[in-house]
Structure formats: C-alpha cells, structure tokens
Amino acid sequence: MIDRFDGAHRFLSNFFVLPKPIPHDGIIYPTTEHAFQAAKTLDFKERFEISKIPGDRASQAKYAGRALKNIRPEWETAKTRIMYELVLLKFVLNQDLRWKLLDTYPNKLVDGNTWGDTYWGVCEGVGENKLGSILEIIRQQLLR
C-alpha cells in the first residue's frame, strides 16, 4: 500500500507541479489542484486569477478556491467527476508521470493526510479516499 503522496510518491499529489500543465476550459494550470479549485466557479476571471498563482504555491490555489464567492450551483454533485477528468489529463499529458503511476501497480493508493481531509483522503484511519480511488481507476484504464 502507498499511504501518503509524498517523497517518491509526491507525483500522485494534486499539489505536484506538472512538467506539462493542464489545460481546462481554455486556461492552463500548473497543478491539478489549481485546475480543480478554479473549476469551482464558472467565472473565467476568477479561474484565470487562480491559474496565475505559481505552481509551487498550490496551497494558495486551494485557499483561493475556498474563498470563491460564486461557486457553481452543481459543484457538490460535479466535483468528483471533475477531479477524475483533471487527474486523467495529468497522466495522459505527462508520459513520465503515467509510467510512474503504472509502476505503483498493484498497490492500493491512499491519500493519507494529517489535515482532516476525509473525503479525498484518509486522516487517522478515517476517510473515503476518493482521490486514491480515482488514481486506481485511471491506473487500471491505462494498463489496458
């Protein structure tokens, strides 16, 4: 099992600065986290502002996403699908990362954290681990 996305497995994290950035809805993002946070709004000006945050400051993109006032109405029902699409783009566009993801097979991927994220990850043994599950699904699709 890979239970944290750091060190040699940092590339699995949405905070990882991508060699080839992710284009989403006409804007280029340096990390998956930037793209995900920007996708919370339909306001392209707000999205563009998030895209300009330097890649090595993905935590700032996360806080900018949390501060958005105009969250798209269907966000709660769309967020998992959007995360899947963005993570898939990450590994389709970045061949080296794709090979690294494939090399994690057959390990279970768990986004372990200490900051209490029990939706996307697992904290203190509790969580849905949605990001880990998405990574495993994409890995399985790429293995075909």
Would you list the domain boundaries of the chain? 7-143
Among 12, 18, 69, CA closest to 40: 69
pLDDT at 144 over 90: no
Q: pLDDT tens, 13-43? A: 999 999 999 999 999 999 999 999 999 999 9
Measured distance CA(50)–CA(76) in Å, rounded: 20
Question: How far is the CA of 11 from the CAs of 89, 101, 111, 129, in angstroms?
Answer: 14, 8, 12, 17
Q: Above pLDDT 70, what percent of the chain?
A: 100
Give the pLDDT score at 81: 98
User: Which one of 3.40.50.620, 2.60.120.560, 2.40.110.10, 1.10.357.40 gives the CATH number of domain 7-143?
Assistant: 1.10.357.40
pLDDT at 85 over 90: yes
Among 120, 136, 142, CA closest to 2: 136
Question: What pTM, to 2 d.p., does this model score?
Answer: 0.95
Is there a contact between 83 and 33 (Cβ–Cβ < 8 Å)? no
